[in-house]
Amino acid sequence: MKKPIIGIDIGGTTVKTGIIDNDGNILDKWEIPTNRTNCGESIVSDIWKSLTERLDQNEMPKESVEGIGIGAPGFIDSDTGHVFEAVNIGWKNMPLSEELRAISKLPVFVTNDANAAVLGENWKGAGGNVKNLFALTLGTGVGGGIIVNGNILNGESGMAGEIGHTTVEPDGVLCNCGRRGCLETIASATGMVRQAKMKIEQHSESLLVSRYNASGNITAKDIFELANDGDVPCKDIIAYTADVLGMAISNAATLINPSKVLIGGGVSAAGEEFIQLIEDAFRNYSLARVSGICELKLAQLGNDAGIIGAAFLVKNKLQNIKF
């Protein structure tokens, strides 16, 4: 029997860990809080402590594990497992692979969290082990990842697939990255809320304005709810967001020529109508030979995608398994 693999997904709030078998089934999983104090200096030892406890409980000696795969946030050199910077957990120049390898004496491989999720979705989720795939995540930000010729595409400085920071409005609003008009300023939950606040200033009467006046706040969920109730400003926000997303996906698909585009993240749970609008725009903007071969689907694994994909990374590196 092939050895199980450890898959770890490091996030700003929790670290999720799974013991995954060689076929991608989760044997056990748990999460611990991400301790961000002192620039996250205890995160690696926290991970190792919880992992050894859990392996003991499962009566699995450390030697029975094939290796450890990690999806981590921030800018990462995936060849060395070095994290240059991960702002939301406080790491700067963190030799992640090296540190965990030193205490675990196991092979350790690292990629960014978005890439790990894409690997997981393609292995056990909506991807179905295709060779060329593009996935994007619509959440607080907009992330993306690319599988090309069966491998994750990292790029020269780990930035491949970062569709959230492609420019869609040259004179648009300021993005977290310091530039203007990135896709993320429109198509993330935060971007949609920002659009709503601009509409509130322009429209004195609408369901949107009433909701805002009543609660003092607007969320992406409100926007979808109010659009369902027929609110015109909210319907406009959704139509514009879907159109911009469809255009951005079409541009990415024209470069990659994937057989599947997967959409995941909290905003993607907003309903079939939104996904249909994105798909309509994508088909509208795409070359027939790009669109015709490409299926657009919702991601399926939710929070488990990261740990499953991190485990796949170990198979990819140690067993040279590609999609």
CB closer to Zn ion, 142 vs 146: 142
Min dist CB 144 to Zn ion, Å, is: 12
- φ, ψ of residue 263 to 5 degrees: the values are -120, 125
Nearest to 238 by CA among 205, 267, 204: 267
Q: To which residue do tokens 């300023």 refer?
A: 185
CB 314 within 8 A of CB 107: yes
Furthest-apart CA atoms within the chain: distance in Å? 67
319 CB-side CA count, 13 A = 16
- φ, ψ of residue 9 to 5 degrees: the values are -125, 105
Min dist CB 248 to Zn ion, Å, is: 12
Task: Give the CA dihedral 211, 215, 217, 218, nearest 10 degrees.
Answer: -30
* Sign of the alpha-carbon torsion through 262, 267, 270, 274: negative
**CA distance linking residue 310 with residue 114, whole number of Å:** 10
In three-state secondary structure terms, 288 is: helix
Min dist CB 82 to Zn ion, Å, is: 23
CB closer to Zn ion, 165 vs 199: 165
Binding positions for Zn ion, rule: CB under 5 A: 165, 175, 177, 182
CB closer to Zn ion, 113 vs 184: 184
CB 61 within 8 A of CB 55: yes
Min dist CB 165 to Zn ion, Å, is: 4
Min dist CB 166 to Zn ion, Å, is: 8
Min dist CB 139 to Zn ion, Å, is: 15
**CA distance linking residue 96 with residue 104, whole number of Å:** 12
Q: Output Rg (C-alpha) for the chain, integer angstroms.
A: 21
Nearest to 310 by CA among 49, 159, 118: 118
Min dist CB 179 to Zn ion, Å, is: 5
Structure-token pair, residue 28? 């056990």
CB closer to Zn ion, 175 vs 313: 175
- How many other C-beta atoms are found inside a 10 Å radius of the C-beta of residue 229? 10
CB closer to Zn ion, 173 vs 318: 173
Min dist CB 181 to Zn ion, Å, is: 8
